[in-house]
Amino acid sequence: MSHNSIGHLFRVTTWGESHGPAIGCVIDGCPPGIPLVADDIQAFLDKRRPGQSRFTTQRREPDAVRILSGVFADDAGRQVTTGTPLCLLIDNVDQRARDYADIKDKFRPGHADYTYWKKYAIRDYRGGGRASARETAMRVAAGAVARKVVPTVTIRGALVQIGRHRIDRSRWNWAEVGNNPFFAPDPAIVDTWASHLDDMRKSGSSVGAVIEVVAEGAPPGWGAPIYGKLDQDLAGAMMSINAVKGVEIGAGMAAAELTGEDNADEIRMGNDGRPRFLSNSAGGILGGISTGQPIVVRFAVKPTSSILTPRRTIDCFGNETEIATKGRHDPCVGIRAVPVGEAMMAIVLADHFLRHRAQLGSGT
């Protein structure tokens, strides 16, 4: 059994380990004729890249992507997709396996070390191997291609909570997301988060976060009933991201506290002759099918497991021992998960757009 692929018609398969020579992905099913150069993808990878502020790991991963297949010059000389498999590759250039030599027999709490070893009886101990979030770089690369399959959809992500500190949603401003190192839509929270994370890092600890991803411009009708629900696929896609422990669509868990009057999104006719929903508790999806409203997904990322504070664990011989991360650590991996969440939204929507078109002959 192998589970390294996502999607039906827009199908992404990733490969590679944290400390192997390279990581990559194959995208099968991308339609032909879409202009695509490496820079289109690089722009999104640069948002995920570590070492961009003191709040993310200082590992040097330039993450320069190459397109190995699936593109060619069209009649106008532009490089476009050919409809054949796209293969994207990133060389791993900052792998220092020796950093992990003294913990190779120990299981890092909160990591996949124990479960991989128990399941496969062999584990690549270098940086988590296949379980490493290094893999998420390829999700971001594939997400950049997926966005081009659904160009009328705008997909944006933001960090809405770090530890107990939430943004004030009344101050939400998308234009602010690029102006701070946290992807925060509320500029007033930035100082609070910065000092909280400085405290966390100095004390050798870490903290979790909540990310919200919103897709605007998807028409009504994408998705499918029963076992192909759009919200089901989005939840699975977000949950597949490393360290994600909770996913919500629309009102999510808070729907349990609402009444039917408050939760049901009433409908009127808009001046443009199209239905207008008065609220969006459903997160833009009803019966597994998009309503045409913004599609809203939130996910919770757990605190970084690799921390300076020693933690109790065992080794593969059954001995009780302790483990601590040396050097710099990432006090909140949720920050770098924002572009990853956007990418998963794009991959799922591209797949559902193609599935919708396959069944009904049009995208809208």
Ligand X SMILES: Cc1cc2nc3c(=O)[nH]c(=O)nc-3n(C[C@H](O)[C@H](O)[C@H](O)COP(=O)(O)O)c2cc1C
Q: Which is nearer to ligand X, 57 or 290 (CB)?
A: 57
- Give the shortest CB-136-to-ligand X separation in angstroms: 5
Grouping H, G, I as helix, E, B as strand and the rest as coil, residue 139 is helix
Minimum distance of ligand X from residue 267's CB (angstroms):
37
Residue (11 or 139) nearer to ligand X, CB: 139
Q: How far is CA 53 from CA 47, 59, 121, in A?
A: 11, 11, 38
Q: How far is the CB of 23 from ligand X (least distance, A)?
A: 13
Nearest in space to 137 (alpha carbons), one of 12, 301, 305, 35: 12
Q: How far is the CB of 270 from ligand X (least distance, A)?
A: 39
Instruction: Please report how the helices 38-48 and 136-149 are oriented relative to each other, as an axis angle in degrees rounded to 10.
Output: 130
Question: Across the chain, where does the E strand assignment appear?
Answer: 5-6, 11-16, 22-28, 65-69, 71-73, 79-81, 86-91, 154-162, 165-166, 209-216, 244-249, 267-269, 275-277, 285-286, 289-290, 295-301, 311-314, 320-323
Q: Give 295 or 301: the residue with its C-beta nearer to ligand X.
A: 301
| Contact (Cβ atoms closer than 8 angstroms) between residue 344 and residue 239 | no
Residue type, 277: F
Distance CA 38, CA 144 (A): 10
Instruction: Write down the least CB distance from residue 57 to ligand X, Å.
Output: 5
Nearer to ligand X, 14 or 290 (CB): 14
Closest approach of ligand X to the CB of residue 316, in Å: 17
| Footprint on this chain of ligand X (rule: CB under 6 A) | 57, 110-112, 128, 131-133, 136, 241-243, 302, 304-306, 330, 333, 336-337, 340
**Least distance to ligand X from the beta carbon of 61, Å?**
11
Length of the chain counted residue by residue: 364
Q: How many CB atoms lie within 10 A of CB 226?
A: 8
Compare residues 36 and 140 and give the one whose CB is closer to ligand X. 140
Please give the Cα distance from 210 to 198 (Å, whole number).
18
Tokens representing 21 are 């020579």
Residue 133 or 224 with smaller CB distance to ligand X: 133
* CB closer to ligand X out of 133 and 251: 133
